[in-house]
Amino acid sequence: MSEIKQWHADKGPQYRLKHDRLLRVAAACFNQKGYSGTSLKDVARQLDLTDAALYYYVRSKEELVYQCYRRAADLGARAMARGQAAGGSGLERALAYLDHHLDALCGEEGPVAIMSEIPSLKPGHKADILERSREHSLAFEVLIAEGIADGSIAPCDVRMTGNAIMGALNWIPKWFRPGGPVSAAQVRGQFTEFCRRALGA
Amino acid sequence: MSEIKQWHADKGPQYRLKHDRLLRVAAACFNQKGYSGTSLKDVARQLDLTDAALYYYVRSKEELVYQCYRRAADLGARAMARGQAAGGSGLERALAYLDHHLDALCGEEGPVAIMSEIPSLKPGHKADILERSREHSLAFEVLIAEGIADGSIAPCDVRMTGNAIMGALNWIPKWFRPGGPVSAAQVRGQFTEFCRRALGA
DNA sequence: GGCCTATTTTAATCAACATTAAAATTCATT
DNA sequence: AATGAATTTTAATGTTGATTAAAATAGGCC
């Protein structure tokens, strides 16, 4: 990550804006067309740029993917932090986290990349993303465990339950389209409702 | 599909066996290394073959993916059929389906491909897989609706709930490894248990 | 053993993108 | 208007891995 900081450090706010836009557009492309299905030209076209121009913002396609995933991980981590900081029982905090994460997934922060291609990241990047993922899953499992301890969540296999809910969450970008038949608010409400039922004691 | 029938029709049982083995190995590769991360050479190596030899079984890499997905869809459809045929309330049938599908996902039928790369299929294949997917989702939603009608499932947004559970299910091959710390039987039991809680009235 | 088919290999070929280098343009600042 | 940094384009170049064609091998059957 220090590499990226250095790479970005000196650039102005203009740069940052466009770079962020790039990540969102790329995430949308990867989610919709698949990784191998999206060429840099595809991404560039949506930004009114040439494919070559992307290299001003990114070292390689691999790094573009990596940064998309990193962004996704950051958003997830932020949601998790908020959830943990929320008051109430374990269940309430878990749901608060989910609500925040859903907001990121479906809301204005733009599309978030589904991490389907972690394995084809280069070793260092892969390790980084995998570590963050594990951390995230673990944090969620802790929330569940705390909920069980305080009686707000029904006893269950924590690992399994965590995996199930994370899976359901990760899959959302597959079927949710902003501006589609279902609104972000609906998804948010109904999904947390679903989880409340699934977890509640 | 008629194309594949023709392609396979005259081949003997030897062929069929190896072809089936190919699909399983390929599915495992795609799930573990990602689509772009697995070259035909990778797949071939695991079969003690040369990459070129695969073309005796498959027209192209795209078709290999397609057939993996088709196999996944077939297994899903079979599980669904069994679930529908099972007796009991809507909830019981839904759970029966899930149990069968989990069996296929984690059991001896070998690894089942995660459909992450549908968008990069060629139009005809894409349409075919998408249609089957929709059919499958719809069938599951019907089960849920019937469960609500007969009082075995708590009222909920059927579409949303279906998507959530299908997402959780589809994600399983991402974290489940046969021979890993968690047994297939455990996953099966705990996952259906989870769904029972989530759905039950 | 000889013949026909099924299967696999060897050795090229090809094509699609990713990537790079150099040149052109934009744009703020003076 | 002139200068220099930031941004983008044009025009090659490379590389990876899919694909193909022809040749080699294996195996059942007469």
> Looking at strand D, which nucleotides approach a protein CB closer than 7 A?
6-12, 16-22
User: In whole angstroms, what is the distance from residue A141 CA to residue A151 CA?
Assistant: 15
Q: Is the pLDDT of residue A123 over 60?
A: yes
Count of helix runs (H) and strand runs (E) in chain A: 8, 0
The closest CB to that of A198, out of B166, B174, B198, belongs to: B198
Q: Which residue is nearest to nucleotide D8 (CA to C1')?
A: A53
Predicted confidence at residue A197, as pLDDT, reads 96
The closest CB to that of B194, out of A36, A160, A190, belongs to: A160
The closest CB to that of B194, out of A36, A161, A169, belongs to: A161
Indicate yes or no: CB of A156 within 8 angstroms of CB of B37: no
- pLDDT > 90: what percent of chain A? 90
Predicted confidence at residue B4, as pLDDT, reads 45
Task: Categorize the per-residue pLDDT at B5 as very low, low, confident or very high, splitting at 50, 70 and 90.
Answer: very low
**Residues B88-129: tens digit of each pLDDT:** 999 999 999 999 999 999 999 989 999 999 999 999 999 999
Q: Is the pLDDT of residue B2 over 70?
A: no
Q: Which of B114, B113, B99 is nearest to B184 (CA)?
A: B99
Domains in chain A with CATH codes: 2-199 (1.10.357.10)
Nucleotide nearest to B44 (CA to C1'): C8
Write down which residues 46-105 in B have CB closer than 7 A to strand C.
48-50, 52-53, 56-57
State the helix-helix crossing angle for B158-175 and A184-199, rounded to 10 degrees: 70
**Mutation target vs A (from B190, B193, B199; most A CBs, 10 A cutoff):** B190
State how far residue B69 is from chain A, nearest Cα, in angstroms: 15
**Residues B126-170: tens digit of each pLDDT:** 999 999 999 999 999 999 999 999 999 999 999 999 999 999 999
Cβ contacts below 8 Å, chain A against chain B, sum to 119
Query: Would the CA dihedral through B139, B144, B149, B152 be positive or negative?
Result: positive
DSSP state of B100: H
In this structure, what token pair is assigned to residue A184?
């972000």
State how far residue B171 is from chain A, nearest Cα, in angstroms: 5
Q: Is the pLDDT of residue B6 over 70?
A: no
- What would the mean pLDDT of A154-164 be, rounded to a whole number? 97
**Residues A173-200: tens digit of each pLDDT:** 999 999 999 999 999 999 999 999 999 9
User: pTM for the complete prediction?
Assistant: 0.91
User: In whole angstroms, what is the distance from residue A40 CA to residue A29 CA?
Assistant: 10
- Cβ-based burial of B180 (10 A; exposed 0-12, middle 13-18, buried ≥19): exposed
Residue A65, C-beta contacts closer than 8 angstroms, at least 6 positions apart: A26, A30, A35, A113, A117, A120, A121
Indicate yes or no: CB of A163 within 8 angstroms of CB of B172: yes
- What would the mean pLDDT of A18-38 be, rounded to a whole number? 94
In this structure, what token pair is assigned to residue B102?
């989990």
State how far residue B5 is from chain A, nearest Cα, in angstroms: 27
The closest CB to that of A198, out of B167, B182, B194, belongs to: B194
Indicate yes or no: CB of A167 within 8 angstroms of CB of B170: yes
User: In whole angstroms, what is the distance from residue A201 CA to residue B64 CA?
Assistant: 45
